[in-house]
Structure 1
Amino acid sequence: MRTPFIVGNWKMNLTLSEVNDFLKQLTDKLPDIKKVECAIAASPIFLESLTNYCKNSPLKASAENCFYKDKGAYTGEVSPYALSDMGVDYVMLGHSERRKYFNESNKSINKKVKAVLNNHMIPIICCDETMTKQKHDDHMDWVVNPVSEALKGVSVSDAKKIVIGYEPSWAIGTGKSASVNETQEACCLIRKTIDELYNDDVANQVRILYGGSVNDKNAQELMQQKDVDGVLAGTASLKPKEFLKIINYIK
């Protein structure tokens, strides 16, 4: 049984005082971690506050990105070794905004996946941008290359730990979410791809999330789908009350 997983992605938003106020409003209001796991992906400048809060809370801390080297002369980059040392649990990798604005490739994302795993954290591998339907003759094919490329060289034991986020780029921040059927179709295909890369056991353990204009009104219906194990919330995660409605969808 896969534990539902809900992740809030703050992106480049909020200030330190707003972050501290946000976290205070979550206190004693989070669901039982055995029923629903929840995490916040935050900018590096907020991770100290977030990880300190998480020490006494069921909330998990996630970085929004990292480099693929542990240390060195890489000005401006974030060390996965340092993230692990400060208590970060997850690292989001390959978000479509990283691919679009910073030209991240499948190859660099694969390096980051391995670096995160080597530092005892769990990667949340985001895919789309190139994972879309393409028409060939009279039928539609899914392109799952980002998933396959991100997992190159990843062992079976490590593959079981990963989380994959399916985020259609046209739905991110637009207010237009993918339909329930589209979401299930995409997440089912991702699971089948993992089955083909590894085996059925791995495929059944990997959690697959949907992201793209998620809110407290559509999250519950999305998570009722067989292959949708959780959601990635962007704008909705910036407001404590709305985020709490999403993560407490199980009554």
Structure 2
Amino acid sequence: MTRKIAAGNWKMNGLRASVEEARAIASGADGCTVVICPPATLLVPMSALGVALGGQYCHASTSGAHTGDISAPMLADAGATWCITGHSERRADHGESDADVRAQTEAAWSVGLTAILCLGETLAQREAGETLDVLRSQMDGSLPSGATPDNTVIAYEPVWAIGTGKVATPDQVAEVHDALRARVGPGFSLLYGGSVKAGNAADLFALDNVDGALVGGASLAAADFLPIVKALAES
């Protein structure tokens, strides 16, 4: 059996007042695993809420002269038990390679964090019919050999659908998730991300091999995120 997981990536959003939204999410989360990945500044304030927390990134090194970075031990010390690795915004904005993502994933594992490893193609790659080839390449380069269903979750996030309001069609999602399942085998939770909202969540969760979602903007408020959690719990 795969775990049903609703993970919220808050990205660079949220101040201390946002802890109340996280509290509301924690109080209403039921029926599946709910993870909030807030800015690192909010991990400690949210650590007593009773909801699983994740970092949005971790450096491959445990410490050192890396100004502005954060290590996996620091995330764990602040209360995180999960960590996103390989998000397309990190790959694009910070030039993170597959090798970087692999090292970060191993760093997350080293302190007991579960990695949410992100994969996804650009619109140009999708239109060129290269989606599955791109994802295979990212998987081969980013996923360490020690991956298990306990230490790793795979998130498919088409780059062209992140924050754009566009959502991959059910056929497109099914094709990718079926291919990912064939690649990693049973047990691994496979999440879809890319403008997931309450209005489309149930249709996405009805697909085979879609075990949850990595949600961006719709995870910032309990009123938006909890209907997605409910749809997953009922799927």
Normalised TM-score (structure 1): 0.86
Quick check: 239-248 or 139-148, which moved more? Answer: 139-148
- Does residue 1:49 correspond to 2:45, yes or no? yes
Quick check: 185-194 or 99-108, which moved more? Answer: 185-194
- 1:23 corresponds to which residue? 22
2:57–2:83: 8 Å Cα contact kept in structure 1? yes
- 1:60 corresponds to which residue? 52
- 2:208 corresponds to which residue? 226
- 1:236 corresponds to which residue? 218
- 1:120 corresponds to which residue? 112
Provide the C-alpha distance between the structure 1 equivalents of 2:150 and 2:222, rounded to a whole number of angstroms. 31
Displacement of 1:25 in angstroms is 2.1
**Structure-2 change in CA distance of 1:27 and 1:167 (3 Å):** closer
Alpha-carbon RMSD across the aligned residues, in angstroms, is 2.0
Displacement of 1:24 in angstroms is 3.0
Displacement of 1:230 in angstroms is 0.5
- 2:65 corresponds to which residue? 73
Provide the C-alpha distance between the structure 1 equivalents of 2:139 and 2:77, rounded to a whole number of angstroms. 28
- 2:95 corresponds to which residue? 103
Quick check: 143-152 or 105-114, which moved more? Answer: 143-152
Provide the C-alpha distance between the structure 2 equivalents of 1:27 and 1:161, rounded to a whole number of angstroms. 23
- What are the superposed Cα offsets for residues 89-120 of structure 1, whole Å, 9 maximum, x if unpaired? 11001111111111111010010011111111
- 1:163 corresponds to which residue? 153
Provide the C-alpha distance between the structure 2 equivalents of 1:228 and 1:14, rounded to a whole number of angstroms. 28
Task: State the SS of the aligned residue for 2:6.
Answer: strand
1:8–1:39: 8 Å Cα contact kept in structure 2? yes
Counterpart code for 2:2 = R
Counterpart code for 1:240 = A
2:113–2:151: 8 Å Cα contact kept in structure 1? no
- 1:248 corresponds to which residue? 230
Counterpart code for 1:103 = G
Displacement of 1:134 in angstroms is 7.1
5+ unaligned residues in a row in structure 1: which ranges?
Answer: 195-202
Provide the C-alpha distance between the structure 2 equivalents of 1:149 and 1:140, rounded to a whole number of angstroms. 15
- What are the superposed Cα offsets for residues 216-250 of structure 1, whole Å, 9 maximum, x if unpaired? 01111101111111011111111211101111123
- 1:200 corresponds to which residue? none
Normalised TM-score (structure 2): 0.91
Quick check: 39-48 or 142-151, which moved more? Answer: 142-151
Displacement of 1:27 in angstroms is 4.7
5 Å-filtered alignment, 1:6-17, equals 6-17=6-17
1:148–1:193: 8 Å Cα contact kept in structure 2? no
- Which of these two proteins has the greater Rg computed from alpha carbons? 1
2:25–2:225: 8 Å Cα contact kept in structure 1? no
Provide the C-alpha distance between the structure 2 equivalents of 1:146 and 1:140, rounded to a whole number of angstroms. 11
The partner residue of 1:193 within 169, 183, 186 is: 183
Displacement of 1:161 in angstroms is 2.7
The partner residue of 1:176 within 166, 190, 202 is: 166
Displacement of 1:130 in angstroms is 6.2
Counterpart code for 1:235 = G
Provide the C-alpha distance between the structure 2 equivalents of 1:141 and 1:190, rounded to a whole number of angstroms. 9
**Structure-2 change in CA distance of 1:82 and 1:216 (3 Å):** same
Provide the C-alpha distance between the structure 1 equivalents of 2:179 and 2:155, rounded to a whole number of angstroms. 13
